[in-house]
Amino acid sequence: MHNWVMIGVGLFGLATSWFWFPKPKRPPEWAENVINKEFEVIQPSDSPWGFRRVAQIILVVAAVAIIGAALWLLPHPYNWLGLIVLAVGAAYKTIWLTKLHRSALTPILVVNLVGYLLAGIILVLLFFLA
């Protein structure tokens, strides 16, 4: 898991991924609607920064830190905890997005299921074939 070459390849792939695919002429309408709804939730014009908004941001940052620590620091059988937290977080985000915007349910589910499938294939390669 702590292979610096693989980490470098992953970071390089992430940093250059915008150049791999052609820019769409126009983003899908559902994507623009979802992004606008998220922006309204994150930065409402009529709501001050309260406990709930601050707590949500802190929880997101804490979840990412816990996932990183679980995947990096825990030995092999236990780093599945980080993957479980990641999967639960992705499922929660999907539910939250579909509550915000019902018309985005199908595209969001398709994107998430493809992501889960690709992540599963990568995990099988990393954990079971290595």
Which whole-number Å values give the CA distances from 16 to 10, 96, 121, in the listed order?
10, 29, 22
Least confident of 22-26, 48-52, 61-65, 107-111: 48-52
- As a whole number of angstroms, the distance between CA 107 and CA 86 comes to 20
Give the pLDDT score at 57. Answer: 79
As a whole number, mean pLDDT of residues 14-28 equals: 81
Q: Averaged over 85-108, what is the pLDDT?
A: 78
Between CA 104 and CA 115 the distance in angstroms is: 16
Tell me if the pTM is above 0.75.
no
**Alpha-carbon radius of gyration of the chain:** 18
pLDDT at residue 40 greater than cutoff 70:
yes
Residue 2 has pLDDT above 80, yes or no: no
Average of pLDDT values for 20-39? 80
d(CA 39, CA 22): 25
Amino acid identity of residue 26, one-letter, is R
As a whole number, mean pLDDT of residues 42-50 equals 70
How far does Cα 118 stand from its chain's mean position?
A: 13
- Of residues 26 and 72, more confidently modeled: 26
Supply the pLDDT for residue 116. 81
The reported pLDDT for the residue numbered 16 is 87
Say which DSSP state 17 is in: G
d(CA 30, CA 18): 20
Mean pLDDT of 123-127: 73
Q: Tell me, what's the pLDDT at 21?
A: 76
Residue 37 has a pLDDT of: 78
Q: What is the DSSP string of 89-100?
A: HHHHHHHHHHHH
